[in-house]
Amino acid sequence: MSSSFRLPLDLSDPLPPHSARSLDDSPLPSTPTMGTLLPALDIQRHVLPQDSTEQTLDRFFHNHPQALGVLLLNDLTSPTTVPIAMVSRRRWMQWRSLLPADHEPGCQHLVDHTERWHRVCDYVLLNEHDVLQDAIDGLLAQDSLAESEEPIVVLTSDGAGLCDRHRLLIAYTRLTRSEQIALAEPTVEHLRRQQQLILNAIGEGVYGVDLQGHATFVNPAAAQMIGWHPQELIGQSMHQVLHHSHPDHRSYRREECPIYAAFQDGIVHRVSDEVFWRKDGTCFPVEYISTPIRDEQGQLVGAVVVFRDITQRKWAEALLHRTNEELEHRVRDRTTELQQANEQLKELSELRSRVVTMVCHEFRNPLNNILLSVSSLERYDHQLTVDQKSSYLLGIQDNVERMTQMIDAILIIGRVEAKGMEVQPRQFDIISFCQELISELLVAASGGDRPPVVHENRVHFTSRHKRLVVTLDQCMVHSILTNILSNAIRYTPEPAPIHFKVVKYHDQVTFHIADSGIGIPTEDIPYLFEPFHRGRNVSNIAGTGLGLNIVKRFVDLHGGHIDVSSQLGEGTVFQVVLPLHYS
CB 144 within 8 A of CB 174: no
Is the pLDDT at 450 greater than 70? The verdict is no
pLDDT tens-place string over residues 538-572: 666 666 667 788 899 899 989 999 999 998 888 99
Q: 0.75 exceeded by the pTM? A: no
Partners of 426 in beta bridges: 472
Q: Is the pLDDT of residue 463 over 90?
A: yes
| Per-residue pLDDT at 434 | 94
The predicted structure's pLDDT at residue 8? 30
Which DSSP helix (H) or strand (E) runs through 462?
A: strand 459-463
Whether residue 29 is predicted with pLDDT greater than 90 in this model: the reply is: no
Ordered domains of the chain (ranges, CATH): 21-171 (3.10.580.10), 204-309 (3.30.450.20), 337-417 (1.10.287.130), 426-579 (3.30.565.10)
Nearest to 83 by CA among 53, 116, 115, 127: 127
Torsion of CA 93, 99, 101, 104, to 10 degrees: -80
Q: pLDDT (tens digit, 9 = 90+) per residue, 385-406?
A: 888 888 888 888 877 877 776 7
| Most confident option among 76-85, 343-352, 554-563 | 554-563
| For the chain, percent of residues with pLDDT exceeding 70 | 82
Cα–Cα distance for residue pair 203/146, rounded to 1 Å: 9
Identity of the highest mean pLDDT range in 17-26, 205-214, 447-456: 205-214
Q: How far apart are CA 48 and CA 40, in angstroms?
A: 25
Question: Residue 4 and residue 22: Cα distance in Å, rounded?
Answer: 6
Q: Characterize the bridge pairing of strands 85-88 and 269-277.
A: unpaired
- Is residue 394 helix, strand or coil? helix
Strand segments, DSSP code E, in 481-556 are: 498-505, 508-514
Q: What is the mean predicted confidence (pLDDT) over 331-348?
A: 87
Q: In what order do the strands lie in the sheet with 47-49?
A: 47-49, 69-73, 85-88
Per-residue pLDDT at 444: 66
What's the pLDDT at 376? 82
Q: Which whole number is the average pLDDT over 251-270?
A: 89
Whether the pLDDT of residue 25 is over 80: the answer is no
For the chain, what is the mean pLDDT? 81
Instruction: Express each pLDDT in 42-63 by its tens digit.
Output: 888 888 888 888 888 888 988 9
